[in-house]
A and B are shown apart, each in its own frame.
Chain A
Amino acid sequence: MKTNILDKIFENSTRLIAFSILLIVAWIFTVLFQNSLDSMQGFGIDFITGTKWAPNLEKFGALPAIMGSVISTFLAMILAIPLAIGVAIFLSEIAPEKLKSPVGVSIELLAAIPSVIYGMWGLFYFVPIIRDIFGGLGIGMLTAGIVLAIMILPFMAAVTRDAMNTTPDILKESAYALGGTQWDVIKDIVIPYAKAGIIGSMILALGRAIGETMAVTFVMGNVHKISTDITAPATSIPVTLANEFTEADTDLYFSSLFELAFILLIISFSIISISKFYFLRKSRRA
């Protein structure tokens, strides 16, 4: 009888905790949405398509920040994907046993470095290099892309390696038994077999890169301008949010920043939903 009551209490408290998570998500959405209302009503779709961000004129167009987020993330993905796949192939297929574990662990350690440290490192180490090579200030989209790539690389490589490691030995041996070389086996067996995991890791890394704030804030520049030069200073949604809340002296400014955050939330939410959908479909099939 007594245990029954305890069971009930336990059940209900876990239920409460689980539901509170849903509640928090809904709460965040609501807060962002409500605070964005001023800006939404004031600018409508122009907020997303507008290129001018002039707080002193009370004009807010988010396109430079949105573009900045998309382009810096895109650059990061282009740089990180081939490297991550290379590292994963090395770790799962090529490295001798003795090397697999130390290199694997150091990659996982790299994934644990706080992003603010990547930002500092980027500012003091990469910015001068980019400045020397391309001239200009050295801060901007390209630097942000590189720093982001380095930041997401370990995670991507580790998950991709784990996915590749699930390829059954017997399947690889079958390909070797037909006269396959190591490269044949990697390209025809291991990569196709691990495809779902590899794509999943990319989508998760994409989600992380697009919302990344600290690493990028150091090296982006916070300039609301769309430029064809990727080495020019620019901005992204998180960078704008991190830099400008302290300066938001009018209600409209404040609300515009909230709408920016709302847009970021929708983008991140969509990326995670797509990856979940993808994984669910894959795992149901398997």
Chain B
Amino acid sequence: MATIVDITDEKALEVKNFEFTYNGAQEPSLKNITMPIAKRSITALIGPSGCGKTTLLRSFNRMHDLYAGNRYSGSIEFEGRNILDAKEDLIKLRTNIGMIFQKPTAFPMSIFDNVAYGLRLQGIKNRSELNDRVEKALQDAAIWKEVSSRLKNDANGLSGGQQQRLCIARAIAVEPEVLLFDEPTSALDPISTQGIEKLVIELKERVSIIIVTHNMQQAARVSDYTGFMYMGELIELGVTEELFVTPKERLTEEYITGKFG
């Protein structure tokens, strides 16, 4: 049985008895996951490759629904409802729960249009509102100074780190409640990584963050809570400092001390 820390603060999400099976697979890739996600804080998911941390992350915005045949059971509660419900409006869900990917994914359009994209999808057409919200998002993503003079330029001309911050700006422009980061710095150099980590910490003032990372130091640097996953199960969820210093589970200890993984 997993060791789950008691979170007394308000929760952004609550996973209960969650199980996930990929299309065609016999065995579930995630089983028996029960996990609270604290509001306005950063929860990191760590674990060896193939442990299911990205699969879990992609369940929160129902990304798995883009591909036929994937199956869920259990529940994930968000704002008082189970988002795994068949009636869940996925378009709305995804504007409430945003996602940043492993690689920067600037769209083939201008910097401005990239950030305005989610806003336009919501039907916002008013020019001055778009301008204001794009500028605010770019400022919040700490990239405004670098791009303010070339908003009309193709976003693919930016560096990798800039593109990733642009993607963060694009995600926060629609003012989500939760942001999911899927190894957001794995394609970036150390300086850009530092910038993104700083940004992630600043963002928790306003959004609840879940970050999947391969890098234990990164989890220790940025997160408030850390969940350790192994073979499709959540082994331990704890306050980050405690989990790294005094892990409760033997597997967690072996992983963070480098005995496997």
Contacting residues of chain A (157-206) with chain B, CB-CB under 8 angstroms: 168, 170-181, 184, 188-189, 192-193
The answer to whether B121 touches A180, judged by C-beta atoms less than 8 angstroms apart, is: yes
In the complex with contacts A178-B94, A179-B91, A179-B94, A171-B174 CB distance below 8 A: no
Question: Does A102 sit within 8 A of B, measured CB to CB?
Answer: no
B208 contacts the other chain (Cβ, under 8 Å)? no
User: How would residues 92 to 117 of chain B score, 1 for a CB under 8 Å from any chain A CB and 0 otherwise?
Assistant: 10110011011101011100000001
Q: Which of B92, B109, B167 contacts A192 (CB 8 A)?
A: B109
Assuming the contacts A170-B102, A170-B103, A170-B105, asked whether A176 and B117 have C-beta atoms less than 8 A apart, the reply is no
A contact residues around B48 at 8 Å (CB): none
For residue B143, CB closer than 8 A to chain A, the reply is no
Interface of A is mostly: helix
Task: Tell me the chain A residues, 116-173 only, with Cβ under 8 Å from chain B.
Answer: 168, 170-173
Complex alpha-carbon distance, A180 and B174, angstroms: 12
Q: A179-B91, A181-B91, A192-B108 are in contact. Are A174 and B167 (CB under 8 A)?
A: yes
Does B191 count as interface, using CB distance less than 8 angstroms?
A: no
A residues less than 8 Å from B95 (CB atoms):
178-179
In contact, A188 and B63 (Cβ under 8 angstroms)? no
Given contacts A181-B91, A188-B117, whether A174 and B68 have CB atoms under 8 Å apart is no
> Are A177 and B94 in contact (CB-based, < 8 A)?
yes
Contact status B61-A189, CB under 8 Å: no
* A179–B92 touching, CB < 8 Å: yes
Bound complex: CA of A176 vs CA of B174, how far in Å?
Answer: 13
A178–B108 CB distance below 8 A: no
- A174 surroundings in chain B (CB, below 8 A): 99, 101, 105, 107, 167
Say yes or no: A176-B94 contact (C-beta < 8 A), given A96-B68, A184-B121: yes
User: At the interface, yes or no: A247 with Cβ under 8 Å from chain B?
Assistant: no
Given contacts A192-B108, A193-B108, contact A178 B63 (CB under 8 A): no
Taking CB atoms, residues of chain A closer than 8 Å to B118 are 178-179
A97 interface residue (CB < 8 Å to B): yes
Chain A residues with Cβ under 8 A from B215's Cβ?
A: none
Chain B residues in 8 Å Cβ range of A180 = 91, 121
Judge if B171 is at the interface, Cβ distance under 8 Å.
yes
Whether the pair B170, A178 counts as a contact (CB closer than 8 A) is: yes
Give the distance to chain A from B127, nearest Cβ to Cβ, in Å. Answer: 19
Q: Which of A170, A174, A178, A180 has its CB near the most chain B CB atoms (within 10 A)?
A: A178
The 8 Å CB contact of A178, one of B66, B102, B103, B121, is: B121
Give 26 CB contacts A-B under 8 Å.
A96-B68, A97-B68, A168-B105, A170-B105, A171-B107, A173-B101, A174-B107, A175-B117, A177-B63, A177-B98, A177-B99, A177-B101, A178-B94, A178-B95, A178-B98, A178-B117, A179-B91, A179-B94, A179-B118, A179-B174, A180-B91, A180-B121, A189-B107, A189-B108, A192-B108, A193-B108
Name 8 extra pairs, CB < 8 A, besides A179-B121, A180-B121, A192-B107: A171-B105, A173-B99, A174-B101, A175-B117, A176-B63, A176-B94, A177-B171, A178-B117
